[in-house]
Chain A
């Protein structure tokens, strides 16, 4: 269990580097995948709700510090994302959750919530754009993009299981 936390924190560093250097090139119209969220969901499904909440807080704090964004914004959303992901944690179904397509669904749901809450920090667009369009552009699309990026993780682990 403790090694899970250590691995999660160690993996955060390369993923944060990729998030800040390569991911902007994969983004379209300010919509891009969130690799830190994929890592958070993956480890929360392994360590549970309490661990996921604390990991989310640590990831958010570190990301706010290194990315130049407002301190507290990613901290808030990632803490909440870790907590919400914890509801999908099941001690008896850890492997099943991580190594199946349900991981993609969880990443999609949590990614959508994470993006919507994150967009509240600084979104002043009231009235001129339809709320449905905003929900689609700032919630569903980033969530979908993140879940697509989580696909290799599922494929990799499924292959490993059947090898």
Chain B
């Protein structure tokens, strides 16, 4: 019996090992949302991010040169816009007072630098150099001067992991700023798409897409991207609208975490509604 097992092992050990290791991988894949595993990951990336943040500091001057040129241009454009918006702001304040609306547009911003990036077709992730100590919490949105970057999915003392828009796990509500139509946006592996938009909806190439008022993850009206096209399936009644993001994920080096915590109350109310409908 023993010699049988010995012969079996010697003959097939490569296959046995690969099957066992692949099964372990798949088990861990299914347990990836387990709190204990998340805690282990938090310690691991927190430890390693110390090294990557050191390297990032070394290459920062090269990044800054690109960034400065782009920011100068953006600054000039923004200056023009600010003047216009200031006028609108005054009008808006007056109208709000008239309607007695609560101002919900201001959230604290926590500045951070990207210390490591994982570029992938399906799992875009950044690690930034702010964490619990600076007040970052799970679920907080992350932006830069161009628009929405992603959401915080894991936080250690000094570092946080950001799930970027280039990650198929991130789905959120968006709105066409011109036509006011809402939809759910996700990354499909190659493009950012608003899925299953009825063909009768008014969507045009170049329309600005922003986060929706219905979003439980993000505050409303954060710029996301512009409509770049859509599939024109003649048979179906829905379109998938392709959106080109404002943010260049390869070049992002400085971001802001918005001190906005997703509303648990709102989420619970929506879940109750779903349960009641079932």
A residues in contact (CB < 8 Å) with B? 13, 16-18, 20-25, 27-28, 30-32, 49-50, 53-54, 57, 60, 64-73, 75-76, 79-80, 83, 86, 115, 118-119, 121-125, 128-129, 134, 137-138
Additional A-B contact list (7), CB under 8 Å, known A20-B117, A21-B55: A16-B48, A30-B166, A53-B17, A70-B29, A76-B26, A122-B121, A122-B123
13 A-B interface contacts by CB (under 8 A): A20-B118, A20-B127, A24-B119, A50-B14, A53-B18, A68-B154, A71-B29, A71-B41, A75-B21, A76-B29, A80-B22, A118-B122, A123-B190
Answer yes or no: B276 CB below 8 A from chain A CBs: no
Residue of B18, B153, B167 ringed by the most chain A CB atoms within 10 A: B18
Chain A positions within 8 Å of B27 at CB level: 72
Looking at the assembled complex, report how far the CB atom of B263 sits from the nearest CB atom of chain A, in whole angstroms.
Answer: 25
Q: Pick the residue among B30, B153, B189 that contacts A123 (CB under 8 A).
A: B189
A86: chain B residues within 8 A (beta carbon):
14
Q: A86: shortest Cβ distance to chain B, in Å?
A: 7
Across-interface contacts of A83 in B (CB, < 8 A): 14, 18
Q: Is the CB of A124 within 8 A of B116?
A: no
**Complex: how many Å from CA A61 to CA B126?**
18
Inter-chain contact B118/A72, CB cutoff 8 Å: no
Interface residues of chain B, those whose CB is within 8 Å of chain A, are: 13-14, 17-18, 21-22, 24-32, 37, 40-41, 44-45, 48-49, 51-52, 55-56, 59, 115-127, 153-154, 161-162, 166-169, 186-191, 193, 231, 240, 250
Name the distance in Å between B277's Cβ and chain A's nearest Cβ. Answer: 25
Contact assessment for B44 and A123 in the assembled complex, using a CB-CB cutoff below 8 Å? no
When distances are taken between beta carbons in the complex, the residues of chain A under 8 Å from B124 are: 30
B12 → chain A closest CB, angstroms? 11
Contact present for B119 and A27 (CB under 8 Å): yes
Contact between B191 and A72, CB atoms less than 8 A apart: no
Interface of B is mostly: mixed
Query: Which residues of the other chain, B, contact A73 by a CB distance below 8 angstroms?
Result: 29, 123
- Are the CB atoms of A72 and B45 closer together than 8 Å? no
Point out the residue from A31, A72, A121 that lies within 8 Å of B28, measured CB to CB. A72
CB distance from B125 to the nearest CB of A (A): 4
Q: Which chain A residue lies CB-closest to B41?
A: A65
CA A60 to CA B22, docked complex, whole Å: 11
Q: A72 to B25: give the CA distance in the assembly, Å.
A: 5
Most chain B CB within 10 A, of A18, A31, A65, A134, is at A65
Residues on B with beta carbons closer than 8 Å to the beta carbon of A137: 121, 190
User: In the assembly, what is the distance between CA of A3 and CA of B245, in Å?
Assistant: 47
**When the two chains form their complex, are residues A69 and B188 in contact, meaning their CB atoms are under 8 A apart?**
no
Chain B residue nearest to A121 in the complex (CB): B122
Contact of B119 among A23, A72, A123 (CB under 8 A): A23
**C-alpha spacing A83/B29, complex, angstroms:** 19
Complexed CA–CA distance, A79 and B127 (Å): 25
Contact with A129, one of B17, B119, B161, B190 (Cβ below 8 angstroms): B190
Most chain B beta carbons < 10 A, residue from A31, A49, A79, A122:
A122
